[in-house]
Structures are given as C-alpha cells and as structure tokens.
Amino acid sequence: MAKDKSPRRPRAETPKGFRDYFGAEVTERRDMLQKISEVYERYGFDPLETSAVETVEALGKFLPDVDRPNEGVFGWQDEDDQWLALRYDMTAPLARVAAQFRNDLPSPYRRYTFGPVWRNEKPGPGRFRQFYQCDADTVGAASVAADAEICAMLADTLEAVGIDRGDYIVRVNNRKVLNGVMEVAGLSGDDKEAERGIVLRAIDKLDRLGEEGVRALLGEGRKDESGDFTKGAGLSDAQADVVMGFVGANSAVRTTLLSQVGSNPREADFLRRGAASQNANPNIENEAVREGFGAVWNAGVLDHLRGLVSQSQIGQEGVEELEQIAALLAAQGYGPDRIVIDPSVVRGLGYYTGPVYEAELTFEILDEKGRPRQFGSVAGGGRYDDLVKRFTGQSVPATGVSIGVDRLLAALRAKGHAGAPAPGPVVVTVMDRDRMADYMAMVGELRTAGIRAEMYLGNPKNFGNQLKYADKRGSPIAIIQGGDEAANGTVVLKDLILGAKIAENATLEEWKDRPAQVEVPRADLVAAVQRMLAQ
Amino acid sequence: MAKDKSPRRPRAETPKGFRDYFGAEVTERRDMLQKISEVYERYGFDPLETSAVETVEALGKFLPDVDRPNEGVFGWQDEDDQWLALRYDMTAPLARVAAQFRNDLPSPYRRYTFGPVWRNEKPGPGRFRQFYQCDADTVGAASVAADAEICAMLADTLEAVGIDRGDYIVRVNNRKVLNGVMEVAGLSGDDKEAERGIVLRAIDKLDRLGEEGVRALLGEGRKDESGDFTKGAGLSDAQADVVMGFVGANSAVRTTLLSQVGSNPREADFLRRGAASQNANPNIENEAVREGFGAVWNAGVLDHLRGLVSQSQIGQEGVEELEQIAALLAAQGYGPDRIVIDPSVVRGLGYYTGPVYEAELTFEILDEKGRPRQFGSVAGGGRYDDLVKRFTGQSVPATGVSIGVDRLLAALRAKGHAGAPAPGPVVVTVMDRDRMADYMAMVGELRTAGIRAEMYLGNPKNFGNQLKYADKRGSPIAIIQGGDEAANGTVVLKDLILGAKIAENATLEEWKDRPAQVEVPRADLVAAVQRMLAQ
C-alpha cells in the first residue's frame, strides 16, 4: 500500500476472484442446501460447522520448511507466529475434528456440513476463490456398507433437490481394482512410482484422447495435433494390454454382451438396446435399462474385472467390494438404473484408498457455442482411510462425498427447478409527505397478513420515481392514496403485472374488461390486495 | 514454524479463539436465522451475501501508512501486494456493495444478510474470533420512516423467534439530541473534541457509576474504590447541569410524572405504577403500561428533551425525529409497551449520525454467581449517513440494525424456545454380518417413510458396543434381527427411551404393563416403529 500512490478514495470492488450474491442467488442456494440437509439428517448424519480458519499444520498442506505457505490457500501469520489459513475444503477440518474430539464423538461418526471454502488460485471465468461445498462423511466405518449408504444418499439427494430419476447416474469404482491392475501389470513396486503416475494421468484422459491415445501414453508416448510430444510410461505391450483391459472395460463388456445376442428377438433387442445405452452415454430412460438390463451390465463388468485381476489379491478384494456395494444397494431398491459399477471413474483416484463414486447429470444442456453436451459431474467422493492418522497415529477408516454446490445449482436452474425467488413487494407509494403514518399503517396491515410489502422510503417528490422503483423491485401492486382518496376513505390498487402486459400489447381486446387499476374502500385494502395477487 | 521443533504430528486443535459447532448448535442457529429471514423478507428486505474477504482499503479500517494492518482484523498480502482481510462486520461490506452497484440496485435498497465475521482480538471466555451477525439495513432513505420501520421489524423479529411480547423492549434515542445538548453546554466547537470524548465515555458509564459518578467525571474527575483517579471533562456546574439533564432524563421524567399524581385514585395509581416501571427497569407486563401509560411516558420524555435543547437547532431536529418515529410506530400499533423513547441509550452514539436503537430482553436469568439479572441487549443499530461517501464522495443516508446471533440464541435457550434438536436416529443393529443387505433394506424402508434411521456401521462383533452407540446417538429405538427372528420372519424393536426410564425407576409399577421390547412381523417394521415413536 505504501508504494501505491492511489487517490484517497478506496475502490469499491471485491478482491479479484471474489464475488457477491444477491437476492435469488442467495435464497436458491439456501433452499437447495436445506433440502439436501433434510435428506442427510434422515440418513442419520449430524451437522457440523467448523471454524473457517485452521492452523496450517492442521490443514497439513505444507512442508514445515516452507517459509510462507500460501501456495493454494490464503494464509497469514498470527501474532504468536503461528501460521493460520482459510480452509480449502471440508475434509481436512473433519479429520482435525475427528482427532480432536475422538473421545466424545459417536463412532462411527456421520457428519454433514456446508459452507464456503477458499482457494488461493488464479481466478478465471466462472472460477472463484471462494465457493460453497456440501459434504457428508462417515468416519470410523471400515465396512463398504458405509460407501453404499453414501451412494444411496447421493441418489436420494439429487431427487430431493429436483433432478428426476433418469437424469442422473451415480458411478462407482474402486481404487483397489486399479491397484490390482497395476500389480498384474508389474507396476506395483516402490521403484515404479513414476510409471504409475504416468499411467494414472493417461487413464484420466480417456474422455479426451480415446482408447488409442491412452494406449500411446502407456507405451512410448504421444504426439498431439500441435506436434508436441508427451513421453509415455514405456510399458511393454503385455503390460499395456492389462491396463487397457481396465481402461476399456466398458467397451469390452459392451462387445461381450452384444456377442451374446441370441435368437429370441425380445431378448436380443433387450441386450442390444441396453448395451448401447450403458455406459459411455448412459440414457437411463432407455426402456431396456429400466427393465433390468443394468443388473446384466453390472454382472458383466464385475466378471470382466474379476478376470483382469485374478492374479492380484488386492484387485480381487476391490472387485468383491464392488459386488457387495451393488448387492447392498440392490437390497434397498437402488438398481443400476441409478447406481452403476463403472471402471472409467478415475477422477481423484490417486487420493482415495477404496471405493470411489461420482454423480453425473446425464441430461443435455447447450455449451457456450450452442452445442448440446451432457451436464456432467456434480458430486464426487470415496474412501480415504489415512487422514485422521496424521494427527493420532492411528488409522481411521472414512468415506465421504462432496457436492459442488454451485454446479448443482446451475443444473437446477437449467432444469427450471431452482425454486421461485421471493416475490417483489407490494409498494405503498407516498403521495402526501404529511401522511407517512397512514401509509406506514397500510404497510403494517399488509405485513401482518403475511404479504411482502414496503412503503416507498426515497424522496417522494417525483411520483414517477416511485413507480420506477416499484418496477425495479418487481412489485406486483402499487398502492396509491392521494388527498381525494383519503377524503373518500379509499385507496387505489395499481396492478403492475397486468399493466406491463397491457403496455406490451396495447391493442389487444382481451385486456379491455380487466382494469389495471381499482379503487377500493380503505378498510378492504388487505382483502383487495390478496384478491389481486391471487389473479 | 521453522523454529518450533514440535513433534512431527500436527496438533488436532482449532486456532486460539475459534471453535466448532456440533449438531443442535448448528440447527438451532439455522432455524432461528430462517425465522428472522422470513420477517425481513416480509418487510421487503432482499438477501445479500458478500464475500468473506475484502480489500483492506474497502474495509477502511486502516491508515495507508501502517505497514502491516492486522490490528483488529485478519489480514494478509496478496501475490500482487494488495492487502486483503476477513470482514469484521457486515456494514463495511454493505457500504462497498452500495457504492460498487449503485447504478444497478434499487434505491432505497433494503438488504439483509447473515454470516460469520472475524475479529483479530484477544479471545476470552465466551469471546470468539469468529461469530455470526445478522444485519438489516436500508441504504438511500433519508426519512426517519426507515428507522421506524427497522424498529418495528426488530420487534416482529424477536416475537417470531420466540421472545414473548413483554419480554423485550426496543429503545430509541437520537444522536442529534446529544449533539444539541453538547451545543447548549458550549461543547460544540472543533477545539472541544477532547471534552466531548470524555463526556461521551462518562455518559456511557451511567449504568455502572450512577448519576453521581457521571457528574464527577463531567467535572474535575473521579476516584474509584481502588483509589485510581480518572480525570474529568472540567465542565462548569452550569455546563454539567445541561449534560446531566440529558443523562438523568428518565429519572427527571419519573419525578415530574409522580408530582402530577392527582386526586383521582385510579389515575393516581395509573401514573404511579407506570412511572415506577418505566424505564430504568421496564416491566412491560405492568398493567398501567399496557393500558397506555407508555404514551404518557413518551410525551413526558419528549417534553423534557425539548426543554433541554430549545436553544439548539440540531437538538430540536433530533427531538422532532424521535416524535415522528414514535408517531409512525404508533400508527402501526407499535406502542411504547414495545418501543420506547429512551435518552439513556448511548451505546455506540459516537458512530451514528441520527436515530439509534437497541433491543433489550427484560426477563431475568441467573448470572454465573446465581444472582438474577436482566438478560440485556441482543441487537443494536442506528443511522450512519457517511459510510458510502468514502467510496463515491456522495453522502448516502443509511440506517440499519445488527442482531448478536449468539446472544439471541442464548436467550432462546434460556427461555426453552431454541427449537427441538433433530431426534436421534432409529438404529438397526447388525447381528449377522452376512445379512448386511437385509439390515440395509430395513434402514431404507424406514428412511423412505421419513424416519431418521441408521444401520450400525462399526465392527458388529460386540453387540454391547452397538447399544452403547445407540445410546450416544440418543436413539429412540434399536432394531434387532438375529438368526431366530430372521427364520421366523420377525424383528425386535427395543424402546430405548422407555428402557432408560425403567432402568431409572426399576421398582415403579407403572412400567410393568409397557414392555420395553416387542417382536413384530418383519413386514410391520415401519408401522411398528411409527407406533413406538408416537408413544
């Protein structure tokens, strides 16, 4: 600040990458979070609200020898030289709480939370440095029943906020299966960490590069369209085959199922249509899927994976866990039309230790260029068994999900389900400055009747400004009482919604018998407003 | 961190002065804020959520030549050397928003907001460095109707969250009256700032020191019990008389009213009881006040103040504004049993430019030493006309109130109105690890019926641990299905609430015909749980 010779007046601006939320932007999010909370609480999850500020050592993102650890987070040094920082997610604070209160909390501990998190990253279009997360985690449960429960809860949550069944799919994978694949491919040693990293990143690019591109990255490397070369993992063909068996599991299963198409026309049609819709571009409204093809598909995927990792104990364990999850979910009625085993879910696999899951919205929206595309992922999570250990030295199993609040809200808006914003207030105009008490009494009566209402509080001199204000507020009705009306004991109600329609279609006959303005006895004010609002 | 050779494991602790909120602590606050929001929206206030982080120059708390401005706020330097900080209240961000979006917002702009604010102050018992505020402000309205509206809204808000009428009082004063008093006392010059400061601080201590103590501080000074001497403002007796006429307004009015007690016994009783209850220790349930003594009182106070500042234009303006506010409120039915003119409201007078108001809860609670005391203030605010000017150079009138969320919540808890915490979940125990899917199906059915329910997700080996878990969760019912029950197609419901009562009063006859445990057909699970919960 000292070197900045700026003018004396401060700039009225949020810092770069921060923004404000107004009116419906606030209430829509609040309403959505309320609905999510209701589902979470029904599942036995308890609310937790941790402080926004943590010690940097508790957040655990930084090496102790970094002098100013503000990479990625907003941090500062306290007066006693301790580094503090704003939380960057909800999981690190949960691990701290689980350690700090381990003797008081029930075990397992189910908790949910929502609130802002902060990231000290380069802001970009639609990318802010403060945003909301809504998380649910179960700490202290080793059983995959905990993972299955969260997947079911995720499905219920999406439906509760207004995403129709068929418009979403929860995909489940297991980090252990990938570990098994790595083992079978001879990539499990400590000395193979670099190769494993390249393989992970290659798998993560399946969507963009396709199977051929991934295959190239598993081998010598890949040259992209611009001519840039990315060095590959250098796997042998046999090793790459194993990994590709995992990467291409969905298409392999599809091929297998289509090869089984038999002579019964109905069954053939069932298999063909089901396999076509599962899994690359899930269209859950497909009749075959609804009729039960999902179970056939899940069984096919599990068989395929089982074959792939038959030589790896950890891999087999992973497949068994996926099988258990599918069975536990099926027992509650969550079939593969809602929750599906999908080996292509790799996002964040590096971080997790067991099952991982992701909720994807499958309906289409138009992208910036007007092209249709699937809405995509709105939530993700999985099992992370080592976070609490940092504090206590004891491993504590944990699994949980994080909903991207702003993305889900955008989806609800796209579907027209974001909830109605508060209606504009009825505006009582001020015709006579000396009778403010009368106008205020009108407002008081309307509010007492539960009607959103305001008296105009600006300078009343220019009546046009009062109507402009009412317009800006989205006001449905303006109340007017000048001297004549006051003498007659009446008030005038101006229907601003109807008025706007008439103004737009001034020639239309249909409005002629609906007056945009009525005069009623003062005593009937509330009833007349209620009638006009109900029209 | 570098110099601290602490063990490798991080401490699982919140930073000093920060805390976490669990379960009902979260939901009670959320419910209260929801009720407050409903009232605010009915009054036409729109929600606003600003970013938690502001530029230090926008917060405006610091001089530009202070190198590290973290006095009072949590601040840090951004990568481009700009100082950022966490907001310390909701008013500074509102001023920034009002300036930044002045061309887009309606004018007047009514907005409400709630959320955490942060203060970099020494934490103490019950004093945290992050806490909630809930504010409502009207920007751009010069009329005292805006102040009156907020006072009425404050009364409605307190009743909406569960404070009974008679248990609160909104007190209104006006900074201009005090300015007038200073003027009459000859303390209005620029060279008298030091004296005015001493006078303000002295007035602020009326509660603690009484009129005599304040009088001493207006003159030469005051020696306290410990012998410490506080230098006074050095006013002449005549000057001090004027200020004391303001400080002692309430007792002066009381004396006047009691001197008017006439011969009509009913009227005499009315005046005597009313004056006794107004205003030092308002007991609004007093019949005389309910019958209309409040209006007599308000008139008396206004007369007294009018006499005091008859020589000061600003002072007269202040009295007129108070009179208008009282009239506007009376027109809406907010009489002096709820909102009262009170010259003793001085908190924060230095900050405000016009009307100031404060909501006080008048019921008694016990303090730490078991002595009864009034609950006290839970909200305060007033008119501040110069905050937006910092940014734009143009003065913008504004008025608003801030509710101390944690204090109001403490009051609701003291009155037993904080809302019921979520009930503990029905816990489905795991008797047979191989039948997890069956137990999960039970949980699924209960949840679908809207019942909060969980399957036990810890290690099921020790059944005692499962019941201990259910106890810790405050669970009303445990569901048990061992091998025998499964074979018979039944489940056992254990009534844990009844069980606990029986355990406490094992000898009581009354429980003998209410079994704490029932066995029902599996198909009747949901209905049986609903019956037991309804008992």
Residue A7 has pLDDT above 80, yes or no: no
pLDDT in the model for residue B266: 79
* CB contact (8 A) between residue B472 and residue A106: yes
Residue A518's DSSP bridge partners are: A493
Residues of chain B positioned with their CB less than 8 A from the CB of A107? 458, 469
- The answer to whether residue A356 is domain-embedded is no
Quote the ipTM score: 0.89
Q: Angle at CA A74, nearest 5°, toward A68 and A76?
A: 50
Nearest to B20 among A48, A143, A324 (CB): A48
pLDDT in the model for residue A63: 40
Q: Are residues B415 and B431 in the same domain?
A: no
- The answer to whether residue B340 is domain-embedded is yes
A40 is in an annotated binding site: no
Residue ranges in chain B whose pLDDT is less than 50: 1-3, 6, 62-69, 280
Q: Are residues B494 and B347 in the same domain?
A: no
B390 is in an annotated binding site: no
- The answer to whether residue A216 is domain-embedded is no
Q: Which of residues 44-83 of B touch A (CB under 8 A)?
A: 44, 46-58, 60, 64-65, 67, 69-70, 74-76, 78, 81-83
Token pair 């309320």 is found at A34
Residue B449, chain A, CB below 8 Å: the answer is no
Give per-residue pLDDT as tens, A470-507: 999 999 999 999 999 999 999 999 999 877 777 666 55
How many whole angstroms separate alpha carbon A357 and alpha carbon A170? 7
Nearest to A23 among B20, B46, B100 (CB): B46
pLDDT in the model for residue A268: 80
Alpha-carbon distance A95 to nearest alpha carbon in chain B (angstroms) = 8
- Domain with B480, as residue range(s), is 426-534
How many whole angstroms separate alpha carbon A268 and alpha carbon A283? 19
Rounded to the nearest 10 degrees, how much is the dihedral formed by the CA atoms of B258, B259, B262, B265?
A: 30
pLDDT in the model for residue A207: 78
pLDDT in the model for residue A509: 60
Residue A440 CB partners (closer than 8 Å, separation 6+) = A455, B145, B148, B149, B328, B331, B332
- The answer to whether residue B329 is domain-embedded is yes
The H-or-E segment that residue B164 falls in is none
Q: Which of residues 152-211 of B touch A (CB under 8 A)?
A: 152, 156
- The answer to whether residue B78 is domain-embedded is no
Q: Are residues B319 and B184 in the same domain?
A: yes
- The answer to whether residue A508 is domain-embedded is yes
Residue B264 CB partners (closer than 8 Å, separation 6+) = none
pLDDT in the model for residue A483: 94
Residues of chain B positioned with their CB less than 8 A from the CB of A428? none
Which of B456, B444, B467, B471 has its CA nearest to residue B526? B444
How many whole angstroms separate alpha carbon B78 and alpha carbon A5? 18
Q: Which residue would you say has higher pLDDT here, A274 or B170?
A: B170
Q: Which of A19, A55, A132, A461 to mutate to test the interface with B (most CBs of B within 10 A)?
A: A55
For residue A108, cis peptide bond before it (omega within 30 degrees of 0):
yes
**Mean per-residue pLDDT over chain A, rounded:** 87
For residue B441, what is the domain's CATH number? 3.40.50.800
Q: Are residues B172 and B311 in the same domain?
A: yes
Amino acid letter, residue B401: V
For residue A283, cis peptide bond before it (omega within 30 degrees of 0):
no
Which of A401, A385, A362, A397 has its CA nearest to residue A163? A362
Nearest CA in chain A to B148: A440
Nearest to A49 among B21, B47, B50 (CB): B21
Half-sphere exposure of B92 (CA within 13 A, CB side): 23
Strands of A517-521's sheet in order across: A453-455, A426-428, A477-480, A490-495, A517-521
How many whole angstroms separate alpha carbon A88 and alpha carbon A120? 9
Q: Which of A5, A20, A109 to mutate to test the interface with B (most CBs of B within 10 A)?
A: A20
- The answer to whether residue A462 is domain-embedded is yes
Q: Are residues B252 and B311 in the same domain?
A: yes
pLDDT in the model for residue B254: 84
pLDDT in the model for residue B359: 95
Q: Residue A57: is it exposed, middle or buried by C-beta count within 10 angstroms (0-12/13-18/19+)? A: buried
B90 is in an annotated binding site: yes
Q: Are residues B208 and B322 in the same domain?
A: yes
Residue A523 has pLDDT above 70, yes or no: yes
Residue B12, chain A, CB below 8 Å: the answer is yes
B19 is in an annotated binding site: no
Q: Which residue would you say has higher pLDDT here, A107 or A262?
A: A107
Alpha-carbon distance B360 to nearest alpha carbon in chain A (angstroms) = 23
Q: Which residue would you say has higher pLDDT here, A121 or B451?
A: B451
- Using the 3D structure, point to which of B349, B365, B381 is the last residue of a domain: B381
Q: Which of residues 466-525 of A touch B (CB under 8 A)?
A: 469, 472-473
Give per-residue pLDDT as tens, A42-52: 999 999 999 99
pLDDT in the model for residue B66: 45
Residue B508 CB partners (closer than 8 Å, separation 6+) = B502
Number of domain units in chain B = 3
Q: Residue B237: is it exposed, middle or buried by C-beta count within 10 angstroms (0-12/13-18/19+)? A: exposed
Q: Are residues B107 and B182 in the same domain?
A: no
Alpha-carbon distance A208 to nearest alpha carbon in chain B (angstroms) = 33
pLDDT in the model for residue B145: 96
Q: Are residues B196 and B279 in the same domain?
A: yes
pLDDT in the model for residue A512: 57
pLDDT in the model for residue A386: 80
DSSP B120: B
Strands of B168-174's sheet in order across: A21-22, B46-49, B109-118, B130-139, B398-404, B372-383, B355-366, B168-174, B339-341
* CB contact (8 A) between residue A11 and residue B57: yes
- Cβ-defined contacts of A394-397 (< 8 Å, 24+): A396/A98, A396/A139, A396/A140, A397/A139, A397/A140, A397/A141, A397/A142, A397/A146
Residues of chain A positioned with their CB less than 8 A from the CB of B393? 9
Q: How many CB atoms lie within 10 A of CB A427?
A: 26
Residues of chain A positioned with their CB less than 8 A from the CB of B97? 12, 20
Strands of B53-55's sheet in order across: B53-55, B83-86, B75-77
* Helix A436-448, helix B144-161: angle, nearest 10: 20
Residues of chain A positioned with their CB less than 8 A from the CB of B142? 459
A351 is in an annotated binding site: yes
Residue A280, chain B, CB below 8 Å: the answer is no
- The answer to whether residue A502 is domain-embedded is yes
How many whole angstroms separate alpha carbon B64 and alpha carbon A1? 6
Parallel/antiparallel/unpaired status of strands B130-139 and A477-480:
unpaired
How many whole angstroms separate alpha carbon A144 and alpha carbon A341? 14
Which of A281, A327, A373 has its CA nearest to residue A151? A327
Residues of chain A positioned with their CB less than 8 A from the CB of B74? 53, 76, 84
Q: How many CB atoms lie within 10 A of CB B341?
A: 27
Give SS3 for A82: coil
SS (H, E, C) B429-497: CCCCHHHHHHHHHHHHHHHHCCCCEEECCCCCCCHHHHHHHHHHCCCCEEEECCHHHHHHCEEEEEEHH
Q: Which residue would you say has higher pLDDT here, A123 or B378?
A: B378
Residue A333, chain B, CB below 8 Å: the answer is yes
DSSP B524: G
Give per-residue pLDDT as tens, A187-198: 988 888 888 888
B334 is in an annotated binding site: no
Give per-residue pLDDT as tens, A389-446: 889 998 899 999 999 999 999 999 988 877 777 789 999 999 999 999 999 999 999 9
Which of B457, B11, B453, B20 has its CA nearest to residue A399? B457
Give SS3 for B342: coil
Q: B180: which 2 tokens?
A: 């007038």
Q: Are residues B508 and B528 in the same domain?
A: yes
pLDDT in the model for residue A369: 83
B133 is in an annotated binding site: yes
Which of B379, B332, B376 has its CA nearest to residue B112? B379
Nearest to B48 among A6, A20, A156 (CB): A20
Q: A360: which 2 tokens?
A: 């994807």
Residue A172 has pLDDT above 90, yes or no: yes
Q: Which of B35, B38, B49, B443 to mutate to test the interface with A (most CBs of A within 10 A)?
A: B49
Amino acid letter, residue B187: L
Per the document, the length of chain A is 535
Average of per-residue pLDDT across A445-460:
95
Confidence of residue A1 (pLDDT cuts 50, 70, 90): very low
Q: Are residues B361 and B470 in the same domain?
A: no
Confidence of residue A65 (pLDDT cuts 50, 70, 90): very low
How many whole angstroms separate alpha carbon A16 and alpha carbon B79? 11
Q: Are residues B348 and B236 in the same domain?
A: yes
Q: Are residues B353 and B272 in the same domain?
A: yes
Nearest to B140 among A25, A451, A458 (CB): A458
How many whole angstroms separate alpha carbon B251 and alpha carbon A43? 59
Question: What is the interface size between A and B, counted as CB pairs within 8 Å?
Answer: 301
Give SS3 for A105: coil
